[in-house]
Structure 1
Amino acid sequence: MKPLLASRPVLWFLFLFNLVVATVAPFAIDGAQSILTCVGLGVVSLGAGVSLLRTRRTRA
């Protein structure tokens, strides 16, 4: 499972999908749930983005 999650297409999907959902969630959900959704998905998106940068640097 780890090699699948570390592949570049999966990381790009996680990064973009979670970023879009984190930005749209405050408009679709009200209250504290929207804040927690934004924070949670934002953390996942940032983690995928950092992994993308790390793999780019190690390959160069």
Structure 2
Amino acid sequence: MRPLLSSRPVLWFLFLFNPAVAAVAPFAVDGTQGVLTAVAMGLVSLGAGVGLLRG
């Protein structure tokens, strides 16, 4: 699983897809769950961005 997650196409997908989900989540899901989903997706996107910069 690690080689798949560290491949550049997967990192680019995570880096671009997760901010879109983070932007829509508070409007699609009500309350605290939407906010926490947005925060979690933002963190995943940041992690993927760091992985892209390192590689």
TM-score where L is the length of structure 1: 0.85
CA offset digits 1:2-60 (Å, max 9, x no partner): 111111000001111111100111111110011110111111010001100111xxxxx
Consecutive unaligned residues in structure 2, runs of 5 or more: none
- Return the letter of the residue paired with 1:42: G
Residue correspondence of structure 1 range 36-51 to structure 2 within 5 A: 36-51=36-51
How many residues are paired up?
55
Consecutive unaligned residues in structure 1, runs of 5 or more: 56-60
Query: Which has the larger Rg?
Result: 1
Q: Among the aligned pairs, what percent are the same residue?
A: 73
- Specify the SS of the correspondent of 2:26: helix
Q: Which runs of 4+ in 1 moved over 3 A?
A: none
